[in-house]
A and B are shown apart, each in its own frame.
Chain A
Amino acid sequence: MRRKSSNVEIWVVLAVALFVIIVLPCLNAFTADTSGLHVSNFTITIYGKYLCYAMLAISVDLLWGYTGLLSLGQALFFALGGYMMGMYLMRMIGDLGQYHQPIPDFLVFLGWSTLPTFWKPFASFPFAMLMAVLLPGTLAGIFGYLAFRSRIRGVYFSILTQALTYAACLLFFRNSLLLGGNNGFTDFKFVLGHDIREPGTQRDLFIASGIALLLVYLFCKWLTTTKLGKVQRAIRDSENRVMFSGYSTANFKLFIFVLASIIASLAGVLYVPQVGIINPSEMSTDKSLEAVVWVAVGGRGTLVGPIIGAFAVNAMKSWATRAYPDLWLIFLGTMFILVTVFMPKGIVGLPAQLRGVYKKFTVKKIKAEPAVADAGDAIEPAKSK
């Protein structure tokens, strides 16, 4: 039963991915503006952003849903990746900035005439990508090593990651870090030799995000079927028993933490050229918590859940911030309270939960099990998506 529904899920995801990666860009590129089938450039950019959010959500879910580590630092890694990409994009502006100097505008503004040393190699795209993997990975490695070694878990881990994010946010707000201070980076011109504002470039970035999300999804899907994935879930359910069985839980958690940080960072890399700005507010704890909301709404402990959640919440956000700008935060907050209290399995788990409630009311006479939904059944409704 379980294997079968899992297979169905993969096929559905592949079909949706095919639609997103091939059909949508084609509709954008080859149909006329007036045609009913036309997908606007605006839609492509918005959905491209959501795809990156979905990747971030998967990284949160890998930690929270599968390993039981609620990290409030994922926005930090996301933003770090974004900053690495941003540095590359800033170098690509060349002397087309406001001051027509060969260094980024904000450095001119701060009184620099030559490029600081650590900025120099970022003219190379491969180097920027290498750093986007290494920097968050190293930071996660060091922090994770320190945290897991002293057996910091549960809420303490959450609070510490929150503090880490807060500290980094304060740091990036400083001008003396030479990373743009509170304005961050913006006004990008070129990415890999293409004009970043061309619809074609945006479309390519959209396709790249779609492929990246698909790959991350498939990789995580595979990872959860391996022995490592099983240990991971065992840690979530009872870390002490796993430890007593002779597993070094700290190493497993460290591996997942580093992996999740790299996935978040890659999401950030793809996110920045599509929205065209990166600044320290992206790494605030609120952003981390927002990502957690997506996972909670979509359904944690599944891999489609975060994707559905990221799309659903952000689509609602786009609508609500325009329709009721004052009330949006109240919507988000209330939704979050309701989901946490009454829908612990999110949208994906909703049908199973309803079925449980239904059973409870109809088959009262049989000594029914408590209305806890079976995780295997929970995935089925994804078919309808």
Chain B
Amino acid sequence: MMRALKNTLASLCAGYVVLAAHGQEAAAVREKLANSILAEGAEQQKLVAELGDTGSKLVRDVLIAWTRDSVLLYDTNGTKIPVLLEDQTDADGKARAISIADGKFLLDDKKQELRFSPTDLNSVDTDAVLRTVIQQTLDTLALADPDPDARENAVLKLGNSQKIKNIPILQARLAKETDLTVRRDIHEAIAMLQLADADPKIQIAAAQQLAALKSIGSLDMVKSLAESKTAPPEVVQAAKRAVETIGIHIGAVNFFGTIFRGLSLGSILLVVALGLAITFGLMGIINMAHGEMIAIGAYTTYVVQNLFGSGFAFSVNLPFSLFGHPLGFGLHLPGMNAAGWFYESYFLFALPLSFVMAALAGLVLERSVIRFLYRRPLESLLATWGVSLVMQQLFRMVFGANNVQVSSPRWLLGHFTVNDISLGYNRVFVIGFAVLIVIGTWLLLTKTPLGLLIRAVMQNRDMASCMGVRTTRVNMMTFAFGSGLAGLAGAFLSQIGNVGPSLGQSYIVDSFMTVVVGGVGSIVGTVYSAVGIGTSDQVLQQVTGSPVTGKIVVLVCIILFLQWKPGGLFSIRSRSLD
């Protein structure tokens, strides 16, 4: 109830703004509107119905106000002026009046603005017939909205209205409509309304039409017709056929939707696991801090976003003091307070930066800890776990223990629909981006001198060293590159999930699994296994009906899969032991 009231107020409010702003533009429309309000009986109904052709938002707002008895009449010396009262009232509960005919405030003889309370003036009467006409005019107006999405909504509303008398309105619009999607919707809506027609032939035609359109929205209606006891048998037959066709279509939509979500999840896994495939697969380092590299990428995106906005600041106080001065550190970066497209483009800057930041962190990690552990892979697992603990705590101290808000740029929001399958822009972007990253990594490893050195060192570090390759440098570069990829993945995850201190933890097990299943040391294997695990995860979630069960089944399947192929999908064959 309260919400309805609020909406009413909001729409009225919007009405006044329009009244005030576009006063001159729509003088003709205003004239018509005022005339129709002042007219009587059949004449009035005709005038109101004609208003439907104007397509004006002003007309819509005034008509809505009219049905709510908010259009008032101001009577001076026998001349009646239809007015609306302003939303803003003064201390006495009185408001200025706006004349509908010219959109100006009513003035008295001394050019003073007149003020009224709603009870001072009489409202314009409406009767049942007029209300119906007004409603139809409103529907026609909605159908004439310049925005195709708004038109679609209006069509949908009429289609679900179950009132046969709406058919002519829709047909009138169909004659004028140029947008293909909206035309299709109108056909669908008309067919849905015709289902309730008295003539069985029309009903059958409507059911066939809906089946041909594969209309998901009409399924309930067609179903109730198919189960109807009173309808003629041939109508029921046609409805049943329509239900069947639509059911098949829904199945297909769900299937492809699941595949699409699986692909996008697989792409995320792929981007996350690719960095790991390089540090773990190629270098043999178990980097448990890989998840924190992801978090670095995500937090970099967050900081960049804030720099484009109002700035970024933090301060941390340590529980120690030095000569009486409390120790702590902090940073304040002023923001650029950008707006519009420039602010929206922050993500494009965040992407390379998150790569660089994570790569730098990887470089430091490699130099300070990992270089001692190249011959002790098990120990690298333990030491990097220590690093991951430290980093998580640092995130908590700098960014707080709660998730931070990263808003997606507008061009990553929304979705488009292909054959009823909705494809989110961010998911499509993730898939495209994953493809780019894989190609980039592949090119780097196979076509560049650095790639050649990396592969040489990974195959046999000692031999490469003997041949004059500076292995420590190559190690550094490789590890930084792997970490950088993790940072990129983090920039992405910030767009589709929460960013918090333990962001990386939720992906670390999955990404290790991906690399192991794909075959350690094989980039191609990682691609296959990421897409495979992502898709089967989504499919199993659908089948078992719960995300957790699906995940458990996937993990068990992976363990069993390794029985069959212990080396993963693409294991590198070698005669060497250990």
A residues in contact (CB < 8 Å) with B: 70, 143, 146-147, 149-152, 154-156, 158-160, 162-164, 166-167, 170-171, 173-174, 238-240, 285, 289, 292-293, 296, 323-324, 326-327, 329-330, 332-337, 340-341, 344
Contacts and interface: CB of A to CB of B under 8 A. Distances in A.
Nearest to A238: B578
Contacts of B319: 323-324, 326-327
29 contacts: A146-B560, A150-B562, A151-B566, A154-B377, A155-B378, A156-B562, A158-B286, A159-B286, A160-B559, A162-B512, A166-B555, A170-B548, A170-B552, A173-B548, A238-B578, A239-B578, A240-B578, A289-B382, A326-B393, A326-B396, A330-B390, A330-B394, A333-B387, A333-B391, A333-B393, A334-B390, A337-B369, A337-B386, A337-B387
B562 A330 contact: no
B286 A167 contact: no
**Number of chain B interface residues as a range:** 35 or more
Q: Which of B318, B381, B513, B577 has the most CB of A within 10 A?
A: B381
Contacts of B318: 327
Contacts of B563: 146, 149-150
Contacts of B558: 163
Contacts of B578: 238-240
A154 B566 contact: no
Contact of B512 (A159, A174, A333): A159
A160 B562 contact: yes
B382 A332 contact: no
Given A163-B558, A329-B389, A340 B552 contact: no
Nearest to B385: A289
B556 interface: yes
B574 to A, nearest CB: 14
Contacts of B389: 329-330, 332-333, 336
B509 interface: yes
Nearest to B552: A167
Contact of A152 (B391, B394, B566): B566
B378 A70 contact: yes
B493 to A, nearest CB: 19
B555 A340 contact: no
B373 A333 contact: no
Interface string B365-394: 000010011001111011101111111111
Nearest to B566: A150
A333 B390 contact: yes
Given A156-B520, A329-B392, 20 more contacts: A70-B381, A147-B559, A151-B566, A152-B566, A156-B516, A158-B381, A160-B516, A160-B562, A162-B512, A167-B555, A240-B578, A293-B386, A330-B390, A330-B394, A336-B389, A340-B373, A340-B379, A340-B383, A341-B369, A341-B383
Given A289-B385, A333-B387, A155 B509 contact: no
A336 B383 contact: yes
Interface string B440-476: 0000000000000000000000000000000000000
A158 B392 contact: no
A276 B562 CA distance: 39
A145 to B, nearest CB: 10
A371 to B, nearest CB: 15
Contacts of A159: 286, 512-513, 516
B183 to A, nearest CB: 48
B383 A146 contact: no
Given A336-B383, A341-B372, A158 B551 contact: no
Nearest to A285: B509
A336 B559 CA distance: 29
Given A163-B559, A167-B552, A341-B369, A336 B382 contact: yes
A344 B512 CA distance: 25
A340 B386 contact: yes
A70 B288 CA distance: 14
B392 A166 contact: no
Interface of B: 286, 318-319, 369, 372-373, 376-379, 381-383, 385-394, 396-397, 509, 512-513, 516, 520, 548-549, 551-552, 555-556, 558-560, 562-563, 566, 577-578
A236 B500 CA distance: 39
Contacts of B397: 326
Contacts, number: 120
A292 B288 CA distance: 14
B352 to A, nearest CB: 29
A227 to B, nearest CB: 24
A330 B566 contact: no
Contact of A158 (B378, B383, B513, B548): B378
A66 to B, nearest CB: 14
Nearest to B280: A155
A288 to B, nearest CB: 10
A63 B382 CA distance: 15
A146 to B, nearest CB: 6
A318 to B, nearest CB: 17
Nearest to A296: B382
A167 B537 CA distance: 14
A163 B513 contact: yes
Given A240-B578, A326-B393, A329-B393, A155 B286 contact: yes
A337 B389 CA distance: 10
Sorted nearest first, the 4 A-B pairs with minimum C-beta distance are A336-B386, A333-B389, A333-B390, A329-B393
B385 A336 contact: yes
Nearest to A174: B548
Nearest to B564: A150
B551 A167 contact: yes
Contact of A171 (B386, B391, B548, B577): B548
A327 B393 contact: yes
A270 B342 CA distance: 62
Nearest to B382: A340
Contacts of B396: 326
B305 to A, nearest CB: 26
Contacts of B552: 167, 170-171
Contacts of A164: 555, 559
B516 to A, nearest CB: 6
Contacts of B377: 154-155
A341 B373 contact: yes
A174 B578 CA distance: 40
A121 B152 CA distance: 62
Contacts of A160: 516, 559, 562
A240 B383 contact: no
Nearest to A146: B563
B534 to A, nearest CB: 16
Contacts of A329: 389-390, 392-393
Contacts of B393: 326-327, 329-330, 333
A318 B393 CA distance: 18
